[in-house]
Structure 1
Amino acid sequence: MTEEGKLQRDIRVALGRHPSLYLMRNQVGKLFLPSKGQLLQFGRATVESLQRYFRVQFSEHPRNLTYGLEVGSSDLVGILKPSGRWFCLEVKTPTGRVSPEQEKWMALMVKFGAYCAVVRSVEEAERALAEALAS
């Protein structure tokens, strides 16, 4: 697990106990899905197992599947209670930099009323949550 991945996990554990926050990890990426015909060479049971595991139906044509909110979206996203306000944390190591896509996404979320912050420690994440709940 990367340093950033460990920090994300630690933040999720620390903030996950808070009764006014529902927090989720947001992984973003792409996955190539081969066609059903390409997979059948491994047997029908394999195709059915893969469909259950990935929760996807393989079609007659290969395709790219994207997952997560979108490129640039925050690592951790949540909902604050009772307001329903979005709470977004971009997790970075002490030397990590925010990409232009991430800056753009956070600015858009703030424009629509979300609370967004870049955090580099569990303590910063806890302060961000306290600030979001107070505002």
Structure 2
Amino acid sequence: MPSRTLSAALALAAACAAPAAQAASADFTCRNAQAEVTCTAQKCAVDTTAFTPMSVSLTGSQLEVCAYSACQSGTVDLRRARGDLLVVHARTGGAGGAALVSYDRKQRIATLLWGNYALPMSCAAD
């Protein structure tokens, strides 16, 4: 009977660890090549012609946002995965402060909220 309990406990531990391993392998790099969206409480503005694309990348527990000629990074302090969706948050410092990314692993698209930016992005899995 004790070996059956141990086997069940090991099986449960393996099942609980599997989602974390899956989430950890979801590294990505994304860019907003088509448009830049900036928002205030009153409205959002979309620029499709005169902007410099930004990028966001997740590598392990580090989230990095690159805008213009500088990059800001921080350690992920929130990471949630459900199905093909992954949401991560990190305090990146700099003018943007905290960054929140929602990433669809299947569609390879993301949305970055950082400072006054709300950017739709296309992604590549790393």
Q: TM-score range by the shorter chain?
A: 0.3 to 0.5
What TM-score do the two structures reach when normalised by structure 2?
0.33
Which has the larger share of strand? 2
Choose between structure 1 and 2 for higher RCO, CA contacts under 8 A separated by at least 6 residues.
1
Which has the larger share of helix? 1
